[in-house]
Structure 1
Amino acid sequence: MATSSTGLTGLSAYIKQSPPLDFSIPFEDTWVKDRTIVVTGGASGFGAGFVRRWATNGAVVVIGDVNVEKGDALAKAIRKETGRESAAHFVHCDVTDWQSQVNLFKEAVRLSPHGGIDTVVANAGIQAKDRLQEPGDLSAAEPQSPNFATMDVNVTGVLYTTHLAYYWLPKNPGSKPCNMNSVPDKQRRDRSLILLGSVASLAPIAAAPLYGTSKHAVLGLFRSLRATSHMEGIRVNIVLPYFIDTAIVPPVAKLLLAGGAMGKVEDVVEAATRLVADTRIVGRGIVVGPKVTVKQDDTGEFKLVTKGTEGSTETALWEPYADDWEEVDAFGRRVVKILNAVEQARGWYGWITDVVKLAGHRLFGVGGGS
């Protein structure tokens, strides 16, 4: 069996990835300047955050979404804010329809100033009402066919996007195969695919088996693709958000999460921007959770501590060391312990505060997510 310099044997020896991420190392938003980026599901939520940040920093962003009103309005607003007609474009796209996605990519190439696509972000995703465990009327002769829209969007749609990315990214004029030793501010043309997973990719989500299954599938896709990233020359990375305060999280889920903490959209955008901008990053994943202050003890475990504690770090970003393969389960346990500690630290006050906020939003329209 082959053995790598890290001591890994067999297939692991051939999987080339960039080193573990050090979030203290800065990156520049301006590294995305002049790149053409395609974002599915870019009209709202994380997608809108991605589009706005990257277009503001000089990228040409093509938004693919089924929501014509939001997508068109976002593109127009960004063009006005940036003063660049090429900053953002909207193209109607139903990710579950193969030809619709083909049209999105062809239009992106046409709109691209250099005739190619540098980055594809498979962001489109939904969490429809999960009826997998609700067969309906048990007195009926047979159950009705279930609606698996979540799987259609979150799995089939992502597979379509990935397949098209692997067709168009290598054709990007002036681009070169990914190189972990590249100089990000010098390499304008890129070949990058970003997948959007979830904490549901790493752990089961109670009462949402379809959503959990779909996001496990996205993680499986990532772990398979990254194994050959270096051979195929396409950078593949993944963002794995915890429960983030957006419209995709239903009120019942927010009620169940009351007393804990939710992540912020801006932290998801920060994580994705690092992966898009820094061309040295290959085959890595970032978990995005609520911002917490932690300190690592002698055993390597992270403990929740008060802000300002000597040796502590405040962070919302974590890297699951799935590249080790043996360590991913240990990482999952550590993250869950931290999230449970957040809930315990906030106690009844946090629970009551969250429930009151949720009630205000539902009854009076107070607040809102993106």
Structure 2
Amino acid sequence: MATSSTGLSAYIEQSPPLDFSVPFEDTWVKDRTIVVTGGASGFGAGFVRRWAMNGAVMIVGDVNVEKGDALARAIRKETGRDGAAHFVYCDVTDWQSQVNLFKEAVRLSPHGGIDTVVANAGIQAKDRLQEPGDLSAAEPQAPSFATMDVNVTGVLYTTHLAYYWLPKNPGSKRCNMNSVPDQQRRDRNLVLLGSMASLAPIGAAPLYGASKHAVLGLFRSLRATSHMEGIRVNMVLPYFIDTAIVPPVAKLLLAGGGMGEVEDVVEAATRVVADTRIVGRGIVVGPKVAVKQDESGEFKLVTKGTEGSTETALWEPYADDWQEVDVFNRRIVRILNAVEQARGWAGWAADVVKLAGYRIFGLGKGRW
């Protein structure tokens, strides 16, 4: 994969837009220790099975003991490796439960470290935000925000712990877009699971949409500092995928429009986990369709088999946003820094005096 030597991509060490025709090998994950939250079913189970089959040591964290333990046992039997997969109970909304997961992962790791963390655990609980209930009641009952607890707080816990343990991974090096994946056994890699709801509104489920927007915001901030922490951060954003998390009513509404497949989500995640050259990229996974690029560079939907067409389920959103949005942010920060430097210590003292006046005399009441 070629790297850009100019522009902000070089500054923030974000690899170039993905070319899905560039091959990668599943076996690049061999000997890596990978932690997957919510790994007992759905996408998570798909990740665990595929990577374990290619030589990785999988640590499955989940609240579903029965499914998680059964999956780990089945994989150990299928691979013939006692250390291929391990189940560890984990409630991602509980800080200590996640700490225990990571500590156990390090203990079970053959090399005493963690190479990849996949913040996969997520739910879509019944959304009560727009349903206050009995309007004749004296006051509304407190709603349950379980979706935010799992999809935001849980992901933040996982991210915080990943940033503690990944740099401690023995034999690992800072992320490098020029690495040679089949020669780099140790890694420092965080993968976030977003959704198409990270990119577009989802009217019937505002809590879910808000939670996945939050994960996108986290990703875009983290990837801009990969060069500082040396951790590869990438994101997978599935469309509606045919799993249990999509309720029957949603599947009915989507009837005729096509849904994505778990295997394509696993394919996208495998690419960003296996290929150590990929830094700061996101992959949207949708229904598999045939497309053809026109003269303007736009992709148009065509009939399968059309000459010059490509069949794909993977797309990259915001492929070039670092050229505009992140450049703008960088310029604003530079301007603010320049203002601070121009004002100097005199400006700092003036602001401190003003702040003291606000606190002592109650000025600006209501703005604290």
Output the TM-score relative to the length of structure 2. Answer: 0.85
2:138 aligned with 1:141: yes
Answer yes or no: is 1:220 the counterpart of 2:220. no
Q: Structure 1: where are the runs of 5+ without partners?
A: 329-370
Pairwise CA distance, 1:206: 1.7
- Contact 2:46–2:262 (CA under 8 A) maintained in structure 1: yes
> Does residue 260 in structure 1 map to residue 260 in structure 2?
no
One-letter amino acid of the structure 2 residue matched with residue 301 of structure 1: E
Which residue of 65, 70, 74 maps to 2:67? 70
* Residues in 2 aligned to 1:108 and 1:149: alpha-carbon distance in whole angstroms: 26
Q: 1:326 Cα shift?
A: 6.8
State the Cα distance separating 1:5 from its structure 2 match.
Answer: 5.8
Give the match for residue 302 of structure 2: 305
Decide which of 83, 102, 109 is 1:105's aligned counterpart: 102
Are the aligned partners of 1:321 and 1:327 in contact in 2 as well (CA < 8 Å)?
no
1:285 aligns with 2:282: yes
Q: Is the 8 A contact 1:197 1:240 kept in 2?
A: yes
- 1:102-157 alpha-carbon deviations (Å, 9 max, x no partner): 00000000000000000000000000000100000000111000000000000000
Deviation at 1:230, TM superposition (A): 1.6
Out of 24, 46, 50, which is 2:47 matched to? 50
CA distance in 2, matches of 1:227, 1:322: 14
- Gapped regions of structure 2 (runs ≥ 5): 326-368
**Matches of 1:44 and 1:64, distance apart in 2:** 11
Larger radius of gyration: 2
- What pairs up with 1:1-370 in 2 under 5 angstroms? 6-7=6-7, 14-325=11-322
Residue identity in the other structure for 1:197:
G
Counterparts of 2:98 and 2:197 in 1: how far apart (Å)?
26
Cα contact 1:35–1:189 (8 A) shared by 2: yes
Cα deviation for residue 13 of structure 1 reads 7.0
Q: Deviations over 1:21-80 (max 9, x none)?
A: 111111000000000000000000000000000000000000000000000000000000
Q: Distance in 2 between matches of 1:206 and 1:199?
A: 13
Counterpart Cα distance in 1 of 2:81 and 2:306: 46
Quote the Cα distance in structure 2 between the aligned partners of 1:16 and 1:325: 11
Give, in whole Å, the separation in 2 of the partners of 1:258 and 1:239. 24
**TM-score where L is the length of structure 1:** 0.85
Shift of residue 14 of structure 1?
A: 3.0
Matches of 1:89 and 1:175 in 2, distance apart?
A: 22
The amino acid of 1:193's aligned partner reads L
Where does residue 342 of structure 2 map in the other structure? none
Change over 3 Å in CA distance of 1:25–1:293 after alignment to 2: same
Q: Secondary structure at the match of 1:185?
A: helix
> Contact (CA 8 Å) 2:68, 2:87: kept in 1 or not?
yes
